[in-house]
Protein backbone atom coordinates (compact mmCIF):
# COMPACT_ATOMS: atom_id res chain seq x y z
CA UNK A 1 0.00 0.00 0.00
CA UNK A 2 1.23 3.48 -0.84
CA UNK A 3 1.45 5.72 2.20
CA UNK A 4 -0.66 8.86 1.85
CA UNK A 5 1.13 12.20 1.58
CA UNK A 6 -0.70 15.42 2.44
CA UNK A 7 1.45 18.40 1.45
CA UNK A 8 0.81 22.08 2.13
CA UNK A 9 2.18 24.58 -0.40
CA UNK A 10 2.11 27.95 1.34
CA UNK A 11 3.23 29.79 -1.81
CA UNK A 12 4.27 33.44 -1.14
CA UNK A 13 2.54 33.69 2.23
CA UNK A 14 3.52 33.95 5.92
CA UNK A 15 6.20 36.00 7.64
CA UNK A 16 8.39 34.09 10.10
CA UNK A 17 6.17 34.85 13.15
CA UNK A 18 3.04 33.87 11.17
CA UNK A 19 4.72 30.68 9.93
CA UNK A 20 5.75 29.65 13.45
CA UNK A 21 2.30 30.34 14.80
CA UNK A 22 0.76 28.17 12.06
CA UNK A 23 3.06 25.17 12.59
CA UNK A 24 2.72 25.31 16.37
CA UNK A 25 -1.04 25.07 16.03
CA UNK A 26 -0.79 22.41 13.32
CA UNK A 27 1.55 20.26 15.43
CA UNK A 28 -1.08 20.06 18.17
CA UNK A 29 -3.90 19.23 15.77
CA UNK A 30 -2.11 16.38 13.95
CA UNK A 31 0.12 14.99 16.72
CA UNK A 32 -1.87 11.73 16.80
CA UNK A 33 -1.52 11.02 13.05
CA UNK A 34 1.09 8.39 12.24
CA UNK A 35 -0.32 6.41 9.30
CA UNK A 36 0.41 9.02 6.61
CA UNK A 37 3.04 11.64 5.78
CA UNK A 38 2.37 15.32 6.48
CA UNK A 39 4.48 17.92 4.70
CA UNK A 40 4.60 21.72 4.84
CA UNK A 41 6.39 23.88 2.25
CA UNK A 42 6.88 27.41 3.60
CA UNK A 43 8.58 30.24 1.67
CA UNK A 44 12.39 30.24 1.77
CA UNK A 45 12.61 32.89 4.51
CA UNK A 46 10.65 30.69 6.93
CA UNK A 47 12.27 27.32 6.13
CA UNK A 48 14.96 27.39 8.81
CA UNK A 49 12.81 28.55 11.77
CA UNK A 50 9.92 26.27 10.75
CA UNK A 51 12.33 23.34 10.39
CA UNK A 52 13.63 23.95 13.92
CA UNK A 53 10.07 24.11 15.25
CA UNK A 54 9.17 20.81 13.52
CA UNK A 55 12.14 18.83 14.88
CA UNK A 56 10.92 15.69 16.61
CA UNK A 57 7.38 16.12 15.24
CA UNK A 58 5.48 14.05 12.67
CA UNK A 59 5.52 16.91 10.12
CA UNK A 60 8.08 16.98 7.30
CA UNK A 61 9.64 20.08 5.75
CA UNK A 62 9.75 20.88 2.05
CA UNK A 63 10.64 23.80 -0.23
CA UNK A 64 8.67 25.29 -3.11
CA UNK A 65 11.48 25.48 -5.67
CA UNK A 66 15.27 25.34 -6.09
CA UNK A 67 18.01 25.80 -8.68
CA UNK A 68 19.92 22.78 -10.01
CA UNK A 69 23.48 23.96 -9.28
CA UNK A 70 25.12 23.49 -5.87
CA UNK A 71 26.50 27.02 -5.60
CA UNK A 72 27.78 29.93 -7.64
CA UNK A 73 26.81 33.10 -9.46
CA UNK A 74 23.06 32.54 -9.64
CA UNK A 75 21.64 35.67 -8.02
CA UNK A 76 18.36 35.09 -6.22
CA UNK A 77 18.51 31.29 -6.38
CA UNK A 78 18.61 28.59 -3.69
CA UNK A 79 20.56 25.33 -4.06
CA UNK A 80 19.68 21.76 -3.04
CA UNK A 81 22.55 21.83 -0.54
CA UNK A 82 21.03 24.90 1.15
CA UNK A 83 17.65 23.17 1.36
CA UNK A 84 19.17 20.04 2.92
CA UNK A 85 21.07 22.27 5.33
CA UNK A 86 17.86 23.77 6.77
CA UNK A 87 16.20 20.37 7.15
CA UNK A 88 14.09 20.10 3.99
CA UNK A 89 13.48 16.60 2.67
CA UNK A 90 11.11 17.42 -0.22
CA UNK A 91 11.01 20.09 -2.92
CA UNK A 92 8.12 21.09 -5.20
CA UNK A 93 9.32 21.46 -8.80
CA UNK A 94 7.55 22.56 -11.97
CA UNK A 95 4.54 24.02 -10.20
CA UNK A 96 2.17 25.57 -12.75
CA UNK A 97 2.92 29.03 -11.34
CA UNK A 98 6.63 28.46 -12.04
CA UNK A 99 5.79 27.23 -15.55
CA UNK A 100 3.26 29.90 -16.50
CA UNK A 101 4.32 33.01 -14.56
CA UNK A 102 8.10 32.48 -14.62
CA UNK A 103 8.39 30.63 -17.93
CA UNK A 104 10.07 27.48 -16.59
CA UNK A 105 10.50 24.88 -19.32
CA UNK A 106 10.32 21.09 -19.14
CA UNK A 107 14.09 21.02 -19.70
CA UNK A 108 14.84 23.36 -16.77
CA UNK A 109 12.44 21.47 -14.51
CA UNK A 110 14.09 18.18 -15.48
CA UNK A 111 17.52 19.53 -14.48
CA UNK A 112 16.07 20.50 -11.10
CA UNK A 113 14.43 17.08 -10.61
CA UNK A 114 17.70 15.27 -11.36
CA UNK A 115 19.65 17.59 -9.05
CA UNK A 116 17.15 17.24 -6.19
CA UNK A 117 17.25 13.43 -6.38
CA UNK A 118 21.06 13.44 -6.57
CA UNK A 119 21.20 15.47 -3.35
CA UNK A 120 18.79 13.27 -1.41
CA UNK A 121 15.74 15.52 -1.70
CA UNK A 122 12.48 13.98 -2.89
CA UNK A 123 11.23 16.00 -5.87
CA UNK A 124 7.48 16.56 -6.20
CA UNK A 125 7.11 17.00 -9.96
CA UNK A 126 3.97 19.00 -10.80
CA UNK A 127 2.17 18.39 -14.07
CA UNK A 128 -1.17 19.54 -15.43
CA UNK A 129 -3.05 21.11 -18.30
CA UNK A 130 -4.55 24.56 -18.90
CA UNK A 131 -8.31 24.97 -19.36
CA UNK A 132 -7.98 25.49 -23.12
CA UNK A 133 -5.82 22.34 -23.39
CA UNK A 134 -8.48 20.31 -21.59
CA UNK A 135 -11.20 21.78 -23.79
CA UNK A 136 -9.20 20.82 -26.89
CA UNK A 137 -8.93 17.26 -25.56
CA UNK A 138 -5.15 17.56 -25.04
CA UNK A 139 -4.95 16.67 -21.34
CA UNK A 140 -3.11 13.37 -21.91
CA UNK A 141 -0.75 14.82 -24.53
CA UNK A 142 0.29 17.67 -22.21
CA UNK A 143 0.58 15.51 -19.09
CA UNK A 144 2.55 12.81 -20.93
CA UNK A 145 5.04 15.38 -22.23
CA UNK A 146 5.51 16.92 -18.79
CA UNK A 147 5.95 13.54 -17.06
CA UNK A 148 8.34 12.08 -19.65
CA UNK A 149 10.41 15.26 -19.96
CA UNK A 150 10.40 15.92 -16.23
CA UNK A 151 11.66 12.44 -15.32
CA UNK A 152 14.14 12.05 -18.18
CA UNK A 153 17.39 10.52 -16.97
CA UNK A 154 16.08 9.75 -13.48
CA UNK A 155 17.14 6.33 -12.21
CA UNK A 156 14.57 3.71 -11.23
CA UNK A 157 15.96 3.79 -7.66
CA UNK A 158 15.29 7.51 -7.26
CA UNK A 159 12.46 8.51 -4.94
CA UNK A 160 10.03 11.00 -6.45
CA UNK A 161 6.41 12.10 -6.18
CA UNK A 162 4.13 13.34 -8.98
CA UNK A 163 1.47 15.99 -8.34
CA UNK A 164 -1.30 16.35 -10.90
CA UNK A 165 -2.69 19.85 -10.78
CA UNK A 166 -5.11 20.84 -13.52
CA UNK A 167 -4.16 24.50 -13.93
CA UNK A 168 -7.80 25.51 -14.40
CA UNK A 169 -8.56 24.26 -10.87
CA UNK A 170 -5.81 26.13 -9.01
CA UNK A 171 -7.11 28.92 -6.84
CA UNK A 172 -10.23 29.19 -9.00
CA UNK A 173 -12.55 27.28 -6.70
CA UNK A 174 -13.10 24.81 -9.56
CA UNK A 175 -12.05 21.26 -8.80
CA UNK A 176 -11.66 18.33 -11.13
CA UNK A 177 -14.32 15.78 -10.18
CA UNK A 178 -12.87 12.78 -8.33
CA UNK A 179 -13.53 10.75 -11.48
CA UNK A 180 -11.74 13.25 -13.76
CA UNK A 181 -8.76 13.32 -11.40
CA UNK A 182 -8.67 9.52 -11.06
CA UNK A 183 -8.67 9.15 -14.86
CA UNK A 184 -5.53 11.31 -15.19
CA UNK A 185 -3.84 9.69 -12.17
CA UNK A 186 -4.43 6.26 -13.69
CA UNK A 187 -3.01 7.51 -17.00
CA UNK A 188 0.11 8.83 -15.18
CA UNK A 189 0.59 5.49 -13.41
CA UNK A 190 0.43 3.78 -16.80
CA UNK A 191 3.12 6.15 -18.10
CA UNK A 192 5.34 5.33 -15.11
CA UNK A 193 4.99 1.64 -15.99
CA UNK A 194 6.26 2.42 -19.48
CA UNK A 195 9.09 4.69 -18.32
CA UNK A 196 10.22 2.39 -15.49
CA UNK A 197 8.17 -0.78 -14.86
CA UNK A 198 4.91 -1.77 -13.19
CA UNK A 199 6.55 -2.44 -9.81
CA UNK A 200 8.01 1.07 -9.68
CA UNK A 201 4.72 2.56 -10.94
CA UNK A 202 2.85 0.85 -8.10
CA UNK A 203 5.12 2.47 -5.52
CA UNK A 204 5.15 6.08 -6.76
CA UNK A 205 2.78 8.44 -4.97
CA UNK A 206 0.64 10.62 -7.24
CA UNK A 207 -0.94 13.59 -5.47
CA UNK A 208 -3.86 15.71 -6.61
CA UNK A 209 -3.59 19.50 -6.40
CA UNK A 210 -6.19 22.07 -7.35
CA UNK A 211 -8.57 23.68 -4.84
CA UNK A 212 -8.40 20.79 -2.35
CA UNK A 213 -10.51 21.70 0.69
CA UNK A 214 -11.84 19.86 3.76
CA UNK A 215 -15.18 19.55 1.92
CA UNK A 216 -13.83 17.68 -1.12
CA UNK A 217 -10.75 15.92 0.27
CA UNK A 218 -12.49 12.65 1.15
CA UNK A 219 -14.10 12.11 -2.25
CA UNK A 220 -10.79 12.80 -4.03
CA UNK A 221 -8.55 10.81 -1.69
CA UNK A 222 -10.77 7.73 -1.80
CA UNK A 223 -9.90 7.24 -5.49
CA UNK A 224 -7.59 4.28 -6.06
CA UNK A 225 -4.76 6.15 -7.82
CA UNK A 226 -4.88 9.35 -5.75
CA UNK A 227 -2.25 8.98 -3.02
CA UNK A 228 -2.52 12.34 -1.35
CA UNK A 229 -2.97 16.04 -1.96
CA UNK A 230 -0.93 19.13 -2.72
CA UNK A 231 -2.95 21.75 -0.85
CA UNK A 232 -2.67 25.49 -1.52
CA UNK A 233 -4.97 28.00 0.18
CA UNK A 234 -6.41 25.53 2.68
CA UNK A 235 -2.90 24.82 4.03
CA UNK A 236 -2.58 28.41 5.31
CA UNK A 237 -4.88 27.71 8.26
CA UNK A 238 -4.01 24.94 10.71
CA UNK A 239 -7.63 23.98 11.18
CA UNK A 240 -8.51 23.48 7.51
CA UNK A 241 -5.21 21.74 6.71
CA UNK A 242 -5.55 19.37 9.68
CA UNK A 243 -9.06 18.46 8.50
CA UNK A 244 -7.64 17.46 5.12
CA UNK A 245 -4.88 15.46 6.83
CA UNK A 246 -7.58 13.65 8.84
CA UNK A 247 -10.09 13.46 5.96
CA UNK A 248 -11.13 9.87 6.76
CA UNK A 249 -11.50 10.27 10.52
CA UNK A 250 -14.76 11.25 12.09
CA UNK A 251 -14.18 14.22 14.36
Q: Is 233 annotated to bind ligand?
A: yes
pLDDT in tens, 100-132: 999 999 999 999 999 999 999 999 999 999 999
Q: Look up the CATH number of domain 4-246.
A: 3.20.20.70
Question: How many other CB atoms are found less than 10 A from the CB of residue 215?
Answer: 12
Q: Is 87 annotated to bind ligand?
A: no
Residues forming a β-bridge with 209: 230
**Residues with Cβ within 8 Å of residue 231, at least 6 apart in sequence:** 6, 7, 8, 9, 209, 212, 241, 244
Q: Which of the residues are catalytic?
A: 95, 165
The domain locations on the chain are 4-246
- Supply the DSSP string of 135-178, one letter for each residue: HTT-HHHHHHHHHHHHHTT--TT---EEEE--GGGSSSS----H
Q: Is 171 annotated to bind ligand?
A: yes
**Residues with Cβ within 8 Å of residue 249, at least 6 apart in sequence:** none
Rama region for 128: left / alpha / beta (φ>0; ψ in -120 to 50; rest): left
In angstroms, the CA 249 to CA 251 distance is 6
pLDDT in tens, 197-223: 999 999 999 999 989 999 999 999 999
- How much is the pTM? 0.97
Amino acid sequence: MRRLLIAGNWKMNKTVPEALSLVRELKKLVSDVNDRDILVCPPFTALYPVGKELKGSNILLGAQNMFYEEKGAFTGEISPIMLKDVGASYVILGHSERRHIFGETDDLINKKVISAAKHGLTPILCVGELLEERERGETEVVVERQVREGLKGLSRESEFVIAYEPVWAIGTGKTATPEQAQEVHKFIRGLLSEIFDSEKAKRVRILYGGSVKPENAKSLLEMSDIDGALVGGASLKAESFSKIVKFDREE
